[in-house]
Amino acid sequence: MEIQSRKADHIQLCLTGDVEFQQTTTGLEQYRFIHSCLPELDRDDIDLHTVFLGKSLSAPLLISSMTGGTELAKTINYRLAEVAQHFRLAMGVGSQRVAVENPHLADTFTVRKLAPNALLFANLGAVQLNYGYGIDECQRMVDWLTADALILHLNPLQECVQTKGDTNFKGLIAKINQLCHRLPVPVVVKEVGNGISAGMAQLLIEAGVVAIDVAGAGGTSWAKVEGERATDPIQRQLGETFADWGIPTAECITGIRSIAPTIPLIASGGLKNGVDGAKAIALGANLIGFARPFLQAAHTSTEALHIFTKILLAELTTVLFCTGNPNFSSLQKSNCLVRL
Ligand SMILES: Cc1cc2nc3c(=O)[nH]c(=O)nc-3n(C[C@H](O)[C@H](O)[C@H](O)COP(=O)(O)O)c2cc1C
């Protein structure tokens, strides 16, 4: 019941609350594309298509891990899955711990039936590996959605601000390593909006993760979300003090790319539109993830979700066209992104 009400609060606060970073930005505003006044391309020929973890996607777009465990979460997950299938995108579900503890809630996550061709990610907080979770629970979560991979999220700050959060992160890298070698699907790691440094990425790659989602600072602040939920004045103050804590998304991408030129890399955290997304790709990301913007559209209606996705695709196409690039690999080689 406790986890379910937390999931409900998260959705509500992310829809209505003031939960954005205040001063820390993604850093993407420090970059600008060089406009091409003569692209020598037909816009209709622009190709957004990409392949990630062996799966073909119509565009490098990820609906970031968010929710599950309540009736509203189920509606949102099912709408998101329908869109992931329709546009052939990637999608993550939120932490599935709630359903391991209450198996009757598993159907709030079972989106494969709606998205047979999408790249789907299962999800668990890595810290749960220190609280009784192991290969069996992870396998069950993967099976519920016939997931292509498992995302482990790393959220030390969120756990510090959350009332009775799970804060024993000791020895986790060894457990992640074991899981990477025993789980039959690939393991991906992500943060939740505070970013992953180059040094941490190096450790995680050595432990065996196949891809990293930076989930950097500049968008949804989970210190703020948990601070808003807390009743204890100490937890509330922690949420305020650490509201702007984290590594900006752009810095995570460039840092990780400098030490790991080929690791499949997802950029997320504070991306607002296709121009932000294209900048992240030009900096070296392979996939771009959006959480709260998809949540807001999905909560409104399926139609709003389709419109939001079409806008993102049109923005990505327009960046490629107006920089004179027929596809993203050309964009990454083009040097058309400049630092201001
Ligand atoms: C309502 C909501 C619930 C979330 N729950 C999870 C979760 O269970 N697991 C996870 O890995 N990330 C979760 N996230 C974090 C997002 O995946 C993402 O990393 C973060 O919100 C930053 O992206 P944004 O700025 O686009 O919102 C959640 C985000 C939202 C908005």
Which atom of ligand 1 is nearest the CA belonging to 219?
25
CA atoms within 13 A on the CB side of 203: 10
Task: Specify the CATH class of 2-339 in words.
Answer: alpha beta
Q: Which long-range contacts (CB under 8 A, 24 or more apart) does 325-334 make?
A: 325/41, 326/41, 326/45, 326/46, 326/47, 327/46, 327/47, 327/48, 327/49, 328/48, 328/50, 328/60, 328/281, 331/278, 331/281, 331/282, 332/281, 332/282, 332/284, 334/282
Helix pair 71-87, 302-322: axis angle to 10 deg: 40
Burial class of residue 232, CB neighbours in 10 A (0-12, 13-18, 19+): exposed
CB within 8 Å of 89: residues ≥ 6 apart: 57, 58, 59, 61, 62, 63, 83, 118, 119, 309
- Tens of pLDDT, residues 186-221: 999 999 999 999 999 999 999 999 999 999 999 999
Closest residue (by CA) to atom 1 of ligand 1? 11
Inter-residue contact 28 to 279 (CB < 8 Å) = yes
Inter-residue contact 257 to 214 (CB < 8 Å) = no
Signed CA dihedral, 239, 245, 246, 249: sign only: positive
Question: Rounded to the nearest 5°, which phi and psi values hold at 48?
Answer: -90, -10
Q: Ligand 1 center to residue 328 CA distance, Å?
A: 26
Which atom of ligand 1 is nearest the CA belonging to 64?
17
Closest residue (by CA) to atom 6 of ligand 1? 66
Quote the pTM value.
0.98
Domain boundaries, the chain: 2-339
Q: Ligand 1 center to residue 335 CA distance, Å?
A: 31
Spans of the chain below 70 pLDDT: none
Of residues 86, 46, 58, 25, the one with CA closest to residue 252: 25
Closest residue (by CA) to atom 28 of ligand 1? 66
- Say what the pLDDT of residue 2 is: 83
Closest residue (by CA) to atom 15 of ligand 1? 192
- Say what the pLDDT of residue 131 is: 98
Q: Ligand 1 center to residue 161 CA distance, Å?
A: 16
Closest residue (by CA) to atom 18 of ligand 1? 192
**Cα–Cα distances in Å, from 212 out to 151, 196, 237?**
9, 9, 31
Q: Ligand 1 center to residue 330 CA distance, Å?
A: 30
- Say what the pLDDT of residue 49 is: 98
Secondary structure letter of residue 105 according to DSSP: G
Inter-residue contact 249 to 241 (CB < 8 Å) = no
Which atom of ligand 1 is nearest the CA belonging to 11?
1
- Say what the pLDDT of residue 320 is: 98
> Where does ligand 1 bind, in terms of residues with CB under 6 Å?
10-11, 14, 64-67, 94-95, 123, 151, 153, 190, 192-193, 215, 219-220, 268-271, 290-292, 295
